[in-house]
Amino acid sequence: MSSLILTHTRYQMLEQMRIPISWVASAFFPAASMLAFVVPFAAADPVAATRATGSMMMIGAISAALIGLSITVSQDREQPWNHYLRTLPAGPLPRFAGRIFTSMAIMAVAVIPVLVIAALFTEAAITWPRLLLGIGALLAGSVPFMLIGLFLGFTLPSKAAIAVSQLLFFPMCILGGLFLPPQIMPDFVQALSPYVPSRGAVELVWSATTGSAADPAGLVMLAVWTVAAGVAAVWAYRRDEGRRFA
Amino acid sequence: MAVLARSAEVTRRYGDVVALDRVSLDIRAGELVGLLGPNGAGKSTLINLFVGLRRPTSGTVELFGGSPRDPLIRRHVGVTPQETGLPEVLRVAEIVDFVSAHFPDRVATPELLDRFGLGDLAKRQVGGLSGGQRRRLAVALAFAGRPKMVFLDEPTTGLDVEARRTLWDGVRSFHEEGGTVLLTSHYLEEIEALAQRVVVVGHGRVLADDTVQAVRDVVGVRRVSLVAGTLPELPGVLGVEHADGRTHLVTTDPDRLVVELVRSGTPFSGLEIRPTTLEEAFLAITSQETTSKETTSEETTSKESTHV
């Protein structure tokens, strides 16, 4: 089974690597947000700048996971090749895992320009172990978004997947406190915040990079979201029979 | 002989459209079965059920004694993808490696490529292949995992005569070594050349299921060929064709046709009566059906999306 995961990961990496513009696109959005929101407003204070850098990395990861995966999966489903892949002797796991690892590779690359900007233009400070821990937290925290992306991709036609994933993306980022720190948000946003997966995910990143204590409610909800999204994604894969025109 | 693929009373609906209507079919080990039918007849739906892509609305489908939706069961079968959907940016050998990695007992990639005349193209990206080369790659993929049974959906569409013959030899040698084949084709010549058993489907039902010879005989269609001017209205004529100065009439009752022809007093010469080709028999079977039921446009649309 593990060799099939490797096979599917390599296959999807090859496809991605031969279309280099997709990597540029994933790296652009977090880097641009970094320049627009973090450099002018939070550059002076080391802790605030480090936290904000973590938030921008998380925004890029959520975008790649939620929007990127839902669109590619739903578009693939409309290709005859996808029908063929489903006749091969493999269950959903190798393809799921292959997509998740490929998305993680894209995220890891998309993080590089954010880190460069943080190092050059802000007071953000971090040690190497904390940086690696932070990237680990980023990848772990993005798993529920990948699973939600897979779920949307398997249930929606591609045009709907584009719309729905964008509609989910911005509220997720705002409620999770990624654009602005949760403490300065309105009360109802603060009350809702622990219940969206983005909050738990970014808490994990903040904790890993700055050593702050993570909000336990957020972490519990992150775990709950991960399990629920995993169940939903497997269910969606099993009921999927390709696109139907009834 | 063991039954490798079985459908029992299988019905499949897409919304209001009935693609398959209580179809029962057994395919036994070592058979080479041709599946014939017009577009929208239910051929693709039947294959999709056998390879686990779709579930029946009612009835049961079995593959190697288990469910086609079980990945372990599917280790025994090979399927051809549609060549239009092959991933463009990957190289030929990369695709073959990827597919064969799913099977415990696989053919070495260079050997498989050589067998299908693709040895020189191993490093080429699929986007740069010709239609015929893609088709051969698609068929090669069905054999990558040393299957016991292959489902070949129109394996030679778009190939030139020579490439088609080479592919036929490949299918024949697979069959001679004990392999089981379910084949669909637009070319009746192909079914006649390869298949021993023919299943004709139309409007979601099995219209005929027998040997190539018997399907020809069962409809009792004959071809009456002659040289004549304008012919009068004749009984039981299913089709008329003019070629090389001769008129060919396809009929279910050649005796009555000739009697009526003589009675009409029309001058003619060079009369010949021959058994029909499978194509003519097939047209006769399906045209009898079409008169009783119209093909719905939805059925044609669903075919687009269900193609393997």
**pLDDT per residue over A169-182, tens digit each?**
999 999 999 988 88
Band of the pLDDT at B289, cuts 50, 70, 90? low
For chain B, the straight-line distance linking the first and the last C-alpha, in angstroms and rounded, comes to 28
**For strand B3-14 and strand B17-28, is the pairing parallel, antiparallel, or unpaired?**
antiparallel
Backbone phi, psi, residue B89, to 5°: -85, -15
Q: Give the mean pLDDT of B30-41.
A: 86
Q: Which residues of B touch A14 (CB under 8 A)?
A: 89-90, 94
Q: What is the spatial distance between Cα A146 and Cα A150, in angstroms, rounded to a whole number?
A: 6
- The verdict on ipTM greater than 0.95 is no
The verdict on a CB contact (< 8 Å) between B101 and A4 is yes
Query: DSSP class of residue B125?
Result: B
Q: Which residue reads 């925290």 in tokens? A: A141
**A-chain residues near B16 (CB < 8 A):** 246
Minimum mean pLDDT among B1-5, B129-133, B213-217: which range? Answer: B213-217
Give me the residue label for tokens 């990639």: B109
Q: Which of A83, A241, A244 lies at the smallest CB-CB distance from B308?
A: A83
**Option in A11, A91, A242 nearest B305 (CB):** A242
Q: What is the pLDDT of residues B131-156, one digit of tens each?
A: 889 999 999 999 999 999 999 988 88
Judged by CB atoms closer than 8 Å, whether chains meet at B54 and A83 is answered as: no
Q: What is the pLDDT of residue B29?
A: 95
What value does the mean pLDDT of chain B take?
A: 85
Question: What is the predicted pLDDT for the residue at B108?
Answer: 94
Question: Given the DSSP bridges, would you call strands B197-202 and B17-28 parallel, antiparallel or unpaired?
Answer: unpaired
Which backbone phi and psi does B232 adopt, to 5 degrees? -75, 175
**Position B294 confidence tier, pLDDT thresholds 50, 70, 90:** very low
Closest CA to A106 of A52, A8, A25: A25
Task: Give CA–CA dist B162/B164, Å, rounded.
Answer: 5
pLDDT greater than 80 at residue B276: no
Residues of chain A short of pLDDT 70, as ranges, are 1, 241-246
Q: Which candidate from A4, A14, A89 shows the least CB-CB separation from B75?
A: A89
Residue B213's pLDDT band (boundaries 50, 70, 90)? confident
Mean pLDDT of B73-94: 89
- Residue B302's pLDDT is 40
**Residue-level pLDDT at B92:** 96
Instruction: Let me know: does B168 contact B32? Beta carbons within 8 Å.
Output: no
Which parts of B171-287 are beta strand (E)?
180-184, 197-202, 205-211, 222-228, 237-243, 246-251, 268-275
Per-residue confidence (pLDDT) for residue B181, from 0 to 100: 95
Lowest mean pLDDT among A236-240, B284-288, B292-296: B292-296
Q: Which residue in B82, B87, B302 is closest to A245 by CB distance? A: B302
Residue B101 is predicted with a pLDDT of 95
Residue A161 is predicted with a pLDDT of: 93
A vs B, Cβ pairs < 8 A, gives 93
* pLDDT exceeds cutoff 60 at B277: yes
Residues of B with CB under 8 A from a CB of A: 14-17, 48, 51-55, 71-75, 77, 79-82, 84-87, 89-90, 94, 98-99, 101-103, 125, 141, 145, 298, 301-302, 304-308
CA-CA distance, A114 to A59, in Å (whole number)?
A: 11
Query: Mean pLDDT throughout B9-25?
Result: 92
The whole-number average pLDDT for the span B259-287 is 80
Task: State CA B188 to chain mean position distance.
Answer: 8
- Cβ pair B14:A243 closer than 8 A: no
User: Which CATH code is given to the segment(s) B3-216?
Assistant: 3.40.50.300
Higher pLDDT, A6 or B214: A6
Inter-chain touch A15–B90, beta carbons under 8 Å: yes
Under an 8 A CB cutoff, do B89 and A15 touch?
yes
Nearest to B71 among A83, A90, A245 (CB): A90
CA distance B3 to chain A (A): 20
Residue A239: per-residue pLDDT: 82
Least CB–CB distance from B98: residue in A11, A79, A87: A11
Report pLDDT for B30.
94
Q: What is the token pair recorded at B102?
A: 């799913």
- Contact present, B173 and B115 (Cβ < 8 Å): no
Q: What is the mean pLDDT of residues B36-62?
A: 89
pLDDT digits (tens, 9 = 90+) for B172-199: 999 999 999 999 887 777 888 899 899 9
Between A160 and B41, the more confident residue is A160
A246/B15 touch (CB, cutoff 8 Å), yes or no: yes
Cβ–Cβ gap B305/A243 under 8 Å: yes
For A84, the closest of B16, B79, B302 (CB atoms) is: B79
Per domain, the residue ranges of chain B are: 3-216, 222-275
The Cβ-side half-sphere exposure at A162, using a 13 Å CA radius, reads 3
How far is Cα B278 from Cα B191, in angstroms, rounded to an integer? 9
**Predicted local distance difference test score (pLDDT) of residue B287:** 66
Question: Cβ A89–B102 below 8 Å, yes or no?
Answer: yes
**Chain B interface, best mutation among A88, A95, A239, A240, by max B CB count within 10 A:** A88
Count other Cβ atoms within 10 Å, centred on residue A190: 14
pLDDT category of residue B275 using cuts at 50, 70 and 90: confident
Distance from CA of B24 to the nearest CA of A (A): 22
Tokens of A2: 């593990």
What are the distances in angstroms from CA B140 to CA B38, B132, B144, B179? 26, 12, 7, 15
Q: Best residue in B73, B306, B307 to probe A by mutation, most A CBs within 10 Å?
A: B306
* SS3 track for chain A: CHHHHHHHHHHHHHHHHCCCHHHHHHHHHHHHHHHHHHHHHHCCCHHHHHHHHHHHHHHHHHHHHHHHHHHHHHHHHCCHHHHHHHHCCCCHHHHHHHHHHHHHHHHHHHHHHHHHHHHHHCCCCCCHHHHHHHHHHHHHHHHHHHHHHHHHHHHCCHHHHHHHHHHHHHHHHHHCCCCCCHHHCCHHHHHHHHHCHHHHHHHHHHHHHHCCCCCHHHHHHHHHHHHHHHHHHHHHHHHCCCCCCC
Report the C-alpha gap between B238 and B236 in whole angstroms.
6
Determine contact, residues B86/B134, Cβ cutoff 8 Å: yes
- From B126's Cα to the closest Cα of chain A, the distance in A is 12
Residues of A with CB under 8 A from a CB of B: 3-4, 7, 10-11, 14-15, 18-19, 79-84, 86-91, 241-246
Mutate to test the interface with A, among B80, B98, B152, B301 (most CBs of A within 10 A): B98
Q: Is the pLDDT of residue B297 over 70?
A: no
Which residue's entry shows tokens 């279309």?
A19
Do residue A242 and residue B102 have CB atoms under 8 angstroms apart?
A: no
Q: Determine whether the interchain pair A84/B87 forms a contact, defined as Cβ–Cβ distance below 8 Å.
A: no
